[in-house]
Chains A and B, each alone.
Chain A
Amino acid sequence: MKIFQFIVLIALGLGFSPVATDAQADPIADRKALMKKTVLPNTKLTGGMANGAIEFDASKAEAAARAIAGIPAKFVKLFPEDSAGDPDSSAKDEIWSDMKGFLKAADKLTASANAAADAAKAGPDAFKAAFIKMSESCKSCHQLYRLKKEE
């Protein structure tokens, strides 16, 4: 009987241990959410303003670009070793085999998104040029580190 209770206690202890309940319960879902909920809508807004589909608004453009600039630092922390090779993820193995390059690509986005935010004050033409630079940093990272598996 005592042994049984002991086992139950251990099991409960493991279940509530900080390892299991820490922030990274599901890093794959978290990193997808950052892309889909922050990066994508803000790229849509800034991209729309850059190509004239949405009316240019300097303060909105700046805020959106700044929001994108805030993502990479959080995003790169969501790639623990044990999340590699997941069949549902678009993350390429190169992220783990070339973490240095991946971090560099993330820094490029931070810098180019901040530059776009700064450019918003200088008007739509400057912003458009900066948006194109920012989108190049999206592309160069996706070229090396993303493998799309879904539509």
Chain B
Amino acid sequence: MRKAVKFIAWFVTLALAGLYFLSAPDPLPAAKIPAYSVDIKNGETMYHAGGCASCHAAPGSAEGATDKTKKCDDPRSKNKMVLSGGRCLKTKFGKFIVPNISPHKTAGIGSWTKLEFVNAMLRGISPGGQHYYPVFPYTSYHQMAIEDVLDLKSYMDTLPPSNTTNKSHDLEFPYSVRRFIGLWKWLKFEAAKPGSRKDIGESLAERGRYLVRGPGHCGQCHTPRDALGGLLSKLTLSGAPNASGKGWVPNITSHKSGLKAWSENQIADLLATGLTPEFDSIGGDMVAVQENMKEIGASNRAAIAHYLKSLKPIEGIKRPPGKKK
């Protein structure tokens, strides 16, 4: 009997040690940062492609007061150049409050080194060595070329600083324990080898694939997730329930419930104007995405359209039935 207790104690200790080890952050070393002279203009394109402002700009309207502007989940942004944070993202895991990533030295990320910024974007690790929640879409950004990440930082350093103080997330246990994200990463996230721009390729399809899967992080909304919030890769971009509220995010593969009937030009036009081929307007969170995509240039929009049309049709999971009339 005592032997059994001892055995169990040893087993539990070893298991905990193993889990502790598995949940440890795994940052990139400084040697991975190449000598490279940054291109701020490309950084600006990455800023819009990455949709940084959609989450990190303060919620509310540039136009001012309605009741709605007082809400932390207003889908609009007060000023897309001031990344003061404060937006809340209500998910089934709890309420996340988006942090200040303006270049303010203390309230924002102005004092970060290149390496710290790269580790945040590609590994989801903070300068203090803590895991970020994957609500910050590093599970897409990790596919970005390291030069693009450095360009992005150089552009963000030129934006206005904000002294807004960060607020804590409001999460349920066990999601409130950051160390557990390490286990989540072990199960659900395999960080890409840090890629260089020359690895990506220059064809329209390769450029589109890169923009969609890397900076554009389209799958964060258009791909469904499993119970632990991991993206279901077999159903990539085939539509999903809205993770931060009611409604459904559409299928954007070439399936008939998706973009089968759309031409590449029509997709690129939607990204430029927010209008469907029928001249219906887009709505919801896609509006903020489209306003960013408007800024990335026609060739990048064409690349995205081309890549999406090249995707195999995937039926996707069934939507809950609406009321029949």
Contacts and interface: CB of A to CB of B under 8 A. Distances in A.
Interface of A: 29, 40, 43-44, 46-48, 86-88, 92, 94, 97-98, 100-101, 104, 132, 135-136, 138-140, 142-144, 146-151
27 contacts: A29-B325, A43-B279, A88-B322, A88-B325, A92-B246, A98-B66, A98-B67, A98-B68, A100-B66, A101-B66, A135-B273, A138-B281, A139-B281, A139-B283, A142-B282, A142-B284, A143-B288, A144-B74, A144-B76, A146-B284, A147-B245, A147-B247, A147-B283, A148-B283, A148-B284, A149-B248, A149-B319
Smallest CB-CB A-B distances: 5 pairs: A142-B283, A101-B66, A47-B279, A143-B287, A138-B281
Interface string B294-325: 00000000000000000000000001001111
Contacts of A98: 66-68
Nearest to A94: B68
B283 A150 contact: no
A146 B284 CA distance: 7
Interface string B271-286: 0011100111111100
A101 B67 contact: yes
B122 to A, nearest CB: 31
Interface in B253-285: 257, 273-275, 278-284
A86 B248 CA distance: 15
B283 A88 contact: no
B182 interface: no
A19 to B, nearest CB: 22
Contacts of B246: 92, 147
B279 A40 contact: yes
A122 B177 CA distance: 62
Contact of A87 (B66, B273, B274, B322): B322
Contacts of A87: 322-323
A149 B322 contact: yes
A87 B274 CA distance: 25
Interface residues of B, number: 30
Given A139-B290, A148-B248, 20 more contacts: A40-B278, A43-B279, A86-B323, A92-B246, A97-B67, A100-B66, A101-B66, A135-B275, A136-B274, A139-B283, A142-B282, A142-B287, A143-B76, A143-B284, A143-B287, A144-B74, A147-B246, A147-B247, A148-B250, A151-B250
B66 A104 contact: yes
Majority secondary structure, A binding face: helix
B274 A139 contact: yes
A48 B283 CA distance: 21
B43 interface: no
B67 A140 contact: no
Nearest to B258: A151
A87 B321 CA distance: 9
B51 interface: no
Interface of B: 66-68, 74-76, 245-248, 250, 257, 273-275, 278-284, 287-288, 290, 319, 322-325
B284 A147 contact: yes
Contacts of A48: 279
Contacts of A43: 279-280
Contacts of A100: 66-67
A139 B287 contact: yes
Contacts of B322: 87-88, 149-150
B10 to A, nearest CB: 54
Contacts of B290: 139
A100 B70 CA distance: 13
Contacts of A101: 66-68
Contacts of A150: 322
Contact of A151 (B66, B257, B279): B257
B284 A132 contact: no
A103 B325 CA distance: 28
A107 to B, nearest CB: 12
A139 to B, nearest CB: 4
Contacts of A138: 281
Contacts of A88: 322-325
B284 to A, nearest CB: 6
